[in-house]
Structure 1
Amino acid sequence: MTIAGQKIEPAAVAVPGLPRPTAHAHVIRDDAEAIAVAHGIAERIRPGAARRDAERIWPIEELDAYSQSGLWSINVPKVFGGPEVSYATLAKVIEIVSAADPSIGQITQNHLGVVAAIRTVSDEVQQRLLFGEVLRGTRFGNAFSEFGSKRAADFETRFVDAGDHVIVTGRKFYSSGALLAHLVPIVALDEEGRAWYAIADRNAEGLTVIDDWSAFGQRTTLSGTVILDGVKVPRTHLVPGYKGYEVPTADGAIFQIIQVAVDTGIARAAIEETIDFVRGKSRPWVDSGLERASDDPYTIQAVGALTLRLHAAQALQDVAGHAVDRAVANPSAETVAQAQIATAEAKILSTEIAIEATNKLFELAGTRSTLAEHHLDRHWRNARTHTLHDPVRWKYAIVGNHALNGVNPPLHAWS
């Protein structure tokens, strides 16, 4: 990481939280404005993305601009003063931002997922309180996954009742966004083994965020360790997340479609970089007899194939977004399964085109594209790291089992 111009390697260092914004965030009016604002944020964060990746610079100013832009409240319901854009629009926003910097795109995921969960499971009083925080510009991080558990859905973090608050104890990893958040939703179990979101203040006593994220990709998601040593969380901020999976809801598909959009954005950026490099820097092959690498018929065919598959992934992402909209508006076993299946199909294509495009970049651009000065390896590293979320071999199984045997997907955040 780099702080105040000094480069520091990742280490087990506890990091204090940032102050909350002094100005209220902008509130987006409609879907068209959300797309326009996303393009503006992308232009702002793109120039420094390669350097932030190379030196692990925390995206503090970029994240502040992003959350203050209004894009972090776009799924707050209209009845509470939010824009409530289509989930197809929300996914496109994440794709646009992720094409500029997928680490910043990914940091948004759990925030927007928790906003969706609050809509599903919270009562009106809690919704008004927490949506008000989001509309003012408060960022949720996450403390969901645990490093040593047998399965992703197994949790050891627990809370105990203490009257007007609960006390949370445990240890989390893969905590994207927690380091630079204002509030940290913690997945913790009650005495009955039910999972809640205990939304703690980032600077709460006993809550420690450690910058020890060392993955070779998505390096500035800052997805390290959160230690919870008797953290007090007021009951007003205890969200019954388990209710979102007791009956069919769109909550799981919403978490998933944001993952889809991050990968689509990575693929989009890689293809754009390939085209730019081939046009301006690559040399034609010695046997081609051509003056320009961009006239190579094999390169033309390969870029055409990549472009086609990217467009197919984008189209399925859009289909999935509208399926999620229908499931949010009218949750039932049928509408939720349709949203899950459409999102699984989009996840398959977005994963495959992200890996293919980031790998093909070097084959088509040539040897000089591997030089460190171009920083193009970050696309492959980001794709390979991020696509390890929610493996697509299980998405194929979900789609196939539904088509062949009429079996609906399971209800959880990974489906």
Structure 2
Amino acid sequence: MTLIQDIPSTVASDYASLHEHFAEIFARIAEGSRERDFARILPFEQVAWLNEAGFSALRVPVEFGGAGVSVETFTRLLIDLAAADSNVAHLYRSHFGFIESLQWQEEPVARRWYELAAAGKTVGNASTERGGNALGRLNTVLARNGEDWVLNGEKYYTTGTIFSDYTRVSAGLAGEDGRFFAVVDTKAAGVNIVDDWDGFGQRLTGTGTTTFESVRVPNEDIFDRIAGGAEATHEAAFFQLVLLSVLAGIARAARDDAAQSVAKRARTFNTGSGLPFREDPLIQETVGRIATKAFSAEAIVLAAARSLDGALEKSLAQEVDVDGNRATTLEGHLAELAVEQAQVAVPELAISAAQQLFETGGASATSTSKGLDRHWRNAQTVATHNPISFRARSIGDYFINGTLPEGLNAIGDATAKATAN
């Protein structure tokens, strides 16, 4: 297979070398981020630049043509990308989540998809249904068709799929218990991808509807979906770590825009000190507080990433059970807890940094042509992906009662509990 990814063999897998390798691309992506958000231009070109430069293969092992970086190094690079454009960083969440899952697959399966990723191919997401499915169940179903399968259903929030070569679809079995992943070619007959996401933030992530109408799926592209154990624990935490990285990048972007706008501003208020904004101690203090929030958000996210690195090493070193699975280690649970604590702290820091940005300028800062509002809109949108109150409750339960985190394995309509008379 000819690799199109372009990380030279002379570039090491450490953060400093890779940051230098991607710096020019990240800068080009940042240049057009405001205009893309304003005009709602999906970043197809920017995604192509990154894939060709090897970004999509960062977590692919070296022996399969990737960079083989640690979770921490990947997280640092993702924060850099999110600071340039949070939409572009976010849309890779599904792809890297899929790559992460390959560590738990048998070697022939992992090899096939690793090599495709090293060749620049990416995988999107099609898991969530908009409604009508009971919690833990899915309306999207697979049915046998000879040696292969046929997939039918509709998914929403299919982030990244419109930019991807494949998408990973969570599906049930027609007439049977069980849930699986079907990895589907996005150009296959019967696949229809619509950019109908109408959120006020992260508008360029391709988070819309994808429908599957009698889509043929080869048997080799059906994966068991493991609801518990080390794989599920790690993958769930990793998916949330990506969102936290996006938030840390947004906070950094707010810091940079605040500093740059203050440095250039000549006008001041008659109620102020009369000094230029860049010399006014109150404005300097405000920018300092924004910078501190950005620093804190990034430090928390990287600490969670290091926890995942350590837990992953322990998990993969375990022997598999009779079903081919590995149990979640204590380190795995503690890494999940670290990510949950980050989920409580980081959104508030990022949203506050993006909001406080407007304390560093006058009414002109609200001009839509400046696009400064996108940082708050984007941070708020990312923060809603997982209710913070649920995470805080879980953390409290652990520290009070020693209860280890346990998440639901699907999203759906809840059933009300009977109330006592």
After TM superposition, is the score higher than 0.5?
yes
Aligned to 1:110: 94
Counterpart of 2:287? 303
Alignment of structure 1 residues 13-412 onto 2, 5 Å = 24-27=4-7, 29-32=12-15, 33-120=17-104, 122-149=105-132, 154-190=137-173, 192-242=176-226, 245=229, 249-281=233-265, 283-331=267-315, 332-411=328-407
Equivalence for 1:11? none
Q: 1:372 to 1:151 in 2, by over 3 A?
A: farther
Aligned 8 A contact 1:263 1:350 in 2:
yes
8 A contact 1:74–1:85 mirrored in 2: yes
Q: Is the 8 A contact 2:265 2:276 kept in 1?
A: no
Counterparts of 2:108 and 2:3 in 1: how far apart (Å)?
Answer: 24
Q: Number of residues paired by the alignment?
A: 394
Give the aligned residue type for 1:177: G
Q: Which moved more, 1:181-190 or 1:391-400?
A: 391-400
Classify the secondary structure of the residue corresponding to 2:66. Answer: coil
Identity %: 28
1:29, CA displacement in angstroms?
Answer: 4.2
Q: Do the aligned partners of residues 165 and 342 (structure 1) sit closer, same or farther apart at CA in structure 2, a change above 3 Å counting?
A: same
Q: Distance in 1 between matches of 2:398 and 2:410?
A: 16
- Aligned counterparts of 1:150 and 1:268: Cα–Cα separation in 2: 39
When structure 1 is superposed on structure 2, of 269-278 and 28-37 the one drifting more is: 28-37
* Cα deviation code 1:144-197 (max 9, x no counterpart): 111114678652211112243211111001111111211111111235543322
Point out where structure 2 has 5 or more consecutive residues left out of the alignment: 316-327, 412-421
Match of 2:325 in 1: none
Q: For residues 40 and 149 of structure 1, do their structure 2 counterparts lie closer, same or farther at Cα, with a shift above 3 Å needed?
A: farther
Give the drift of 1:266.
0.8
Residues 187 and 377 of structure 1: CA distance in aligned 2, closer, same or farther (over 3 Å): same
Where does the alignment leave 5 or more consecutive residues of structure 1 unmatched?
Answer: 1-20
Counterpart-to-counterpart distance in 1, 2:345 and 2:293: 8
Determine the C-alpha separation between the residues in 2 that align with 1:282 and 1:390. Answer: 41
Aligned partners of 2:380, 2:185: CA distance in 1, in Å? 32
Q: Which has the higher Rg, Structure 1 or Structure 2?
A: 2
Instruction: Give the RMSD, CA atoms, in angstroms.
Output: 2.3
* Residues 1:23 and 1:335: Cα distance change in structure 2 (over 3 Å): closer
Q: Does the 8 Å CA contact 1:186/1:199 hold for their aligned counterparts?
A: yes
What TM-score do the two structures reach when normalised by structure 1?
0.89
